[in-house]
Chain A
Amino acid sequence: MTKILEKVDLSENVVKMVLDAPAIAKKRKAGQFIVLKIDEKGERIPLTTVDCDPEKGTLTIIFQVVGKTTAKLATLKAGDELMDLQGPMGRPTHLEGIKNAVCVGGGVGVGVVYPIGAALKKLGAKVTSIIGSRNKELLILEEEMKGISDNLIVTTDDGSYGIHGFVSDALKTLIDSGEKIDEVFAIGPVPMMKAIAAVTKPYGIKTTVSLNSIMVDATGMCGACRVAVGGETKFACVDGPEFDGHAVDFDLLASRLRMYMTQEKESMDNYRCECHGK
């Protein structure tokens, strides 16, 4: 069992949790994720590790409520326990040799790009960050991102805060301003990562994306998370989750992410009914 030490609501649907997980905290590196299962009847879901403190033995996760499991997770409080926590999983982010980095985060993806930016900053790289969300209320981790970035650009789709537009527009403007860029890290919804890769490709700027495919075991034994990269099938859990954004088949990823749409809705509807019953 894993104890929840702290829970903070970052926005209407986004929650931060600090977990008591000393063994994982000791090993976890930026870019890696965990798999959790709330209780006996629960499913296994992958979540990126946003931060960790090896001394205190704590691990931080950020998640967005999108279905039953995340909705149920969001009802838990400090002091509650999770039945299973497995990690750290996946390959750590490759950070060596990067002097000028741009970290792009969309929506809850800001939580995933944050540890990469933080690790790059620690290694002495210049970090420019572009973060965005649909509107002002949904923007997360602005202060944290400011703390690790040499320059922070904020966008909102509706213009309620920062620059009016998408993060991909802001990136294009940045590139065209002549900013020197060794690598772009882009993490967020599939259309956003696809758009970022399309922006950087003509300029030949290396672009790394973190793929959020459906996972079950996350140890490489099932292939649920398979993605096509450069025409080859890869397992995001062991070969990734980070890949070359210019080689990823985003349309395939998007269609595979819709595989359980009906069941996910059924599960969420059932859960809502049960909750109203109480």
Chain B
Amino acid sequence: MENNEKKEKKEKLPRHKMPEQDPKVRIHNYNEVPIGYSEETALKEASRCIQCKKPGCRTGCPVGVDIPAFINLIAEGKFIEAAWKLKEDSALPAVCGRVCPQESQCEKFCILGKKDEPVAVGRLERFAADYERNSGQVKIPELAPKNGKKVAVVGGGPAGLTVAGDLIKLGYEVTIYEALHKPGGVLVYGIPEFRLPKSIVEAEINYLEKLGVKVVCNAVIGRLETIDELFAEGYNAVFLGVGAGAPVFMGIPGENLSGIYSANEYLTRSNLMKAYLFPEYDTPIVKGKNVAVIGGGNVAMDSVRTALRLGADNAYIIYRRSEVELPARSEEVHHAKEEGVQFKLLTNPVEYIGDENGWVTGIKCVEMELGEPDQSGRRSPIVKKGSEFVINCDTVVVSVGTNANPIIPMTTPGLDTNKWGYIVADEETGKTSREGVYAGGDIVTGSATVILAMGAGKKAAASIHEYLSKK
């Protein structure tokens, strides 16, 4: 009875909003849009959690964070302890709290969400992780004694960082080989500063280095060293977390005109190379006045919001389905709309038009309508006859997905891939067709989310540990 009363009372507390930068101000800067909970708000929000006996939130989390435990610590005002609790299960809590689609994971299963709004797990995770980092009291957890075994992690993105974080705690000697000049993968080249400040990614990676993880940058495995050479050098196991970094173009006429970017290139220039600070930084980027982004996913939203911050007068999303089918998180779509992004829905490009200098000046598009649902249940778009029209633009960002990068499969005999070039790996263990070689993240599943890559990393780390413990 008493318990029920307590429950009732908590449900009545509304979910706490995070303050955000004004849209008119924020399109002129790269600062983070949501400002984060204050201690007071975090305490209040944490007290909404009813501490379920069988917490659904935890099963909804791909890395199985002990959500009730860390939220309880926040509710008790033990903010640092909450962060330490988080780090038992997650290598990158400050990142996950920001970029996870919580609405389809932990928060989807929160019991409060059935009648009311779920506990803001993501915002609380972010709060605790930020609190720890800002306090300067980053704790190094107890590590297992060194077991003398070496693991190479290929790719310093979310999957690889998770594998490294888990295995270093178990006593392995871990080296991450990263192709670019900075580790972090999509966290540094893809997700913009205004969603995920790079200083946070850096701090999370510094933490892994403090645990003893070695990071070797500028190392393109497959070219500099092959997987076989890594084994010959004394590695006992290899994890492949190289992502699905190869951009897809639509193959329509005019796609190679100047001014047309892949989202990967546009975001890499802006985020990794800091082209938005040109000429202080040396990498240039085209600051278009009328920018069209093709696609409707999170990467498309990141690109179009970057275009606004680079000074575009008009920034368009061109998407062939309707608003309900937009694959991006609703929060990102909402932010994009607030910032003035114009959505051209049920619209598909068929050709790019250029001027005599080979520069794009417009996109010939057709209107679409949604047909009957296909086998997967999605209503496929059909071209409306005679609906051709032109959208004028000087810059285009193509964000219609990515393919598997071929370098590793090309140079690793005996490593099976599927017909799309993705590495074949067991979903539960990450085992590939080569003994001692594990894989996870986008290079196995195709483009997915940061947290799913981390979940795959978690499983692979456990299975590498099992394999090497028997050896």
Contact A68 B258 (CB under 8 A): no
Roughly how many angstroms separate A256 CA and B259 CA in the complex, as a whole number?
Answer: 9
Roughly how many angstroms separate A251 CA and B179 CA in the complex, as a whole number?
Answer: 31
* Proximity bits, A58-81, B CB within 8 Å = 1, else 0: 000000000011000000000000
The stretch of B15-23, B123-131, B165-173, B272-280 that contacts the partner chain: B272-280
Contacts of B281 in A (CB 8 A): 41-43
Q: What is the CB-to-nearest-CB distance from A226 to chain B, in angstroms, rounded to a whole number? A: 6
The stretch of A146-154, A161-169, A214-222 that contacts the partner chain: A214-222
Contact A84 B181 (CB under 8 A): yes
* Proximity bits, A205-232, B CB within 8 Å = 1, else 0: 0000000000011011111101110000
Determine whether A270 belongs to the interface, using a CB cutoff of 8 Å to chain B: yes
Contacts of B245 in A (CB 8 A): 219-221
Nearest neighbor of A68 in chain B, beta-carbon distance: B282
A89 in contact with B262 given A216-B273, A233-B249 (CB within 8 Å): no
Determine whether B350 belongs to the interface, using a CB cutoff of 8 Å to chain A: no
Determine whether A27 belongs to the interface, using a CB cutoff of 8 Å to chain B: yes
Q: What is the CB-to-nearest-CB distance from A37 to chain B, in angstroms, rounded to a whole number? A: 6
Determine whether A275 belongs to the interface, using a CB cutoff of 8 Å to chain B: no
Contact A238 B279 (CB under 8 A): no
Contacts of A266 in B (CB 8 A): 279
* Proximity bits, B162-205, A CB within 8 Å = 1, else 0: 00000000000000000111000000010000000000000000
> 8 Å CB contacts to B: which residues of A242-266?
251-252, 255-256, 258-260, 263-264, 266
A263 in contact with B256 given A37-B181, A86-B220 (CB within 8 Å): no
How many residues on A have C-beta within 8 angstroms of the other chain's C-beta atoms?
A: 42
Determine whether A173 belongs to the interface, using a CB cutoff of 8 Å to chain B: no
Task: Identify which of B219, B220, B259 gathers the most chain A CB atoms within 10 Å of its CB.
Answer: B220
Determine whether A160 belongs to the interface, using a CB cutoff of 8 Å to chain B: no
Contact B282 A267 (CB under 8 A): yes
Contacts of A224 in B (CB 8 A): 261-262, 265
Determine whether B217 belongs to the interface, using a CB cutoff of 8 Å to chain A: yes
Contact A256 B256 (CB under 8 A): yes
Determine whether B269 belongs to the interface, using a CB cutoff of 8 Å to chain A: yes
Contact A255 B284 (CB under 8 A): no
A217 in contact with B224 given A238-B407, A252-B256, A255-B357 (CB within 8 Å): no
Contact B180 A217 (CB under 8 A): yes
Determine whether A241 belongs to the interface, using a CB cutoff of 8 Å to chain B: no
A252 in contact with B265 given A37-B181, A238-B406 (CB within 8 Å): no
Contacts of A84 in B (CB 8 A): 181, 217-218
Task: Identify which of A85, A221, A255, A256 gathers the most chain B CB atoms within 10 Å of its CB.
Answer: A221
Contact B264 A44 (CB under 8 A): no
State the main secondary structure of chain B at its contact with A: loop
Contact A24 B224 (CB under 8 A): yes
A89 in contact with B265 given A226-B256, A264-B284 (CB within 8 Å): no
Determine whether B449 belongs to the interface, using a CB cutoff of 8 Å to chain A: no
Q: What is the CB-to-nearest-CB distance from B227 to chain A, in angstroms, rounded to a whole number? A: 14
Q: What is the CB-to-nearest-CB distance from B171 to chain A, in angstroms, rounded to a whole number? A: 27
Determine whether B378 belongs to the interface, using a CB cutoff of 8 Å to chain A: no
Determine whether A132 belongs to the interface, using a CB cutoff of 8 Å to chain B: no
Query: Would you mind naming 14 contact pairs between A and B with Cβ atoms under 8 Å apart?
Result: A37-B181, A41-B274, A41-B280, A44-B181, A84-B218, A219-B220, A219-B245, A221-B245, A222-B268, A224-B265, A228-B256, A251-B358, A255-B358, A263-B278
B interface list, Cβ under 8 A from A: 179-181, 189, 217-220, 223-225, 245-247, 249, 251, 255-256, 258-259, 261-262, 264-265, 268-269, 273-274, 278-284, 286, 357-359, 405-407
Question: Besides the contacts A41-B280, A258-B258, what 13 more A-B pairs have beta carbons closer than 8 Å?
Answer: A43-B281, A86-B179, A87-B218, A216-B268, A216-B269, A219-B179, A220-B245, A224-B261, A251-B358, A263-B279, A267-B278, A267-B279, A267-B282
The 3 A-B pairs of least Cβ separation, nearest first, read A255-B358, A263-B284, A221-B245
